[in-house]
Amino acid sequence: MSQIVAREFQRIWLEQAPTIRSNQMALQKQISEYALKLDETLLEHDVVAVCLDNPKLQPLAQATYLPVEEQCGEALQIKPKSKKLKPKSGLWLVDTATKPLKTDLAQWLSNNLNLLDQALQH
């Protein structure tokens, strides 16, 4: 998606093309680093599958290549982060970014990894 947006912006703002290209490459790097850290964390804790509490989380799972199971069983359960829920073992409270972010993308990704660590440490 970022490649498509960057390509279109470069066509519109030719004079900004190098900056747009650089920003898009930095974004891809951040996402790749997140995916790698996510995989490493899940592997470290022998998490072989996750279970989604809400079908709206499916795009997030697909975008990060999470192995999703239909039945929760022993799988790590994922729920949208809310003030009502408290962190506990086996429950990853994900910041779904359904509202505009108050931080940059790198911080949002890092925060979600920290939330995963919390779910796996309890």
The per-residue pLDDT for range 13-41, each reduced to its tens digit, is 999 899 999 999 998 998 889 889 988 99
CB atoms within 10 A of CB 106: 15
Q: Is the pLDDT of residue 5 over 70?
A: yes
Which pLDDT score is estimated for 25?
A: 92
Cα–Cα distance for residue pair 56/54, rounded to 1 Å: 5
How much is the pTM?
Answer: 0.76
For range 50-75, the mean pLDDT: 81
Taking only Cα atoms into account, the Rg of the chain, rounded to an integer number of angstroms, comes to: 17
Instruction: Out of 5-9, 60-64, 87-91, pick the least confident.
Output: 60-64
Mean of the per-residue pLDDT values of the chain: 85
Kindly write down the DSSP assignment for every residue of 43-110, as one continuous string. Answer: HHTT---EEESSGGGHHHHHHTT--B-SS-TTSEEEEE--SS---BTTEEEE----S--SS-HHHHHH
Q: Is the pLDDT of residue 107 over 80?
A: yes
Among 60-64, 72-76, 116-120, top mean pLDDT goes to 116-120
Q: Is the pLDDT of residue 53 over 70?
A: yes
